[in-house]
Amino acid sequence: MKKIILLLAIFIPTLFFAQSSRDINTVIQKTIDLHALKQHFNEGEKAGEIPLIILNDDKIPNNLIVFKFNKRVKIMTLEQLKTFKSISKKNLDSFFVFEIMEFNDNQVTIKAMFRKTDKIAINVSMKKEDREWMVTESSAG
């Protein structure tokens, strides 16, 4: 019985992260670097004064490392964000929520939101060619 539980504990998480962490890291980095998003970042975000945050959920691996404006993007749960907001004197409205990240063969479809207020919808389609993810369609706004 213990062996079955151990096998399930190993097998079930691999179903959720069937795509490699590297692929997920790459498509998220390409999403936050979209040219269509460039106009939506404010001066505080561009200067690194206001941290950019990705809300962590079951689609985001714990070892995700992405950068924007030469700063590491923070990965936080909703509870961590609430705590961080309560101790920070900055407006922490600059966070991403990845609602859909659907991998099919060598393609991915992403639907995300940026900001809590004045939400910016992000839609991205990418295709993997020769181990490189290429954006095929994108919009932000």
pLDDT in tens, 69-98: 999 999 999 898 888 888 877 777 789 999
pLDDT at position 85, please? 82
Residue 12 has pLDDT above 90, yes or no: no
The band of 16, judged by pLDDT with boundaries at 50, 70 and 90, is: very low
Domain range for 43: 19-140
Q: 122 near 34, Cβ under 8 Å?
A: yes
Q: Is residue 6 in some structural domain?
A: no
CA distance 104 to 134: 14
Cross-strand partners of 113: 97, 121
Q: Which two tokens stand for residue 17?
A: 């992260």
Total domains in the fold of the chain: 1
Q: Is residue 108 in some structural domain?
A: yes
Residue 9 has pLDDT above 50, yes or no: no
Q: Is residue 35 in some structural domain?
A: yes
Q: Where are any strands of DSSP class E within 5-66?
A: 53-55
Q: Is residue 93 in some structural domain?
A: yes
Q: Is residue 4 in some structural domain?
A: no
C-alpha dihedral sign at 128, 38, 28, 66: positive
The model's pTM is 0.80
Q: Is residue 1 in some structural domain?
A: no
Q: Is residue 13 in some structural domain?
A: no
Q: Is residue 8 in some structural domain?
A: no
Task: Give me the CATH number covering residue 60.
Answer: 3.10.450
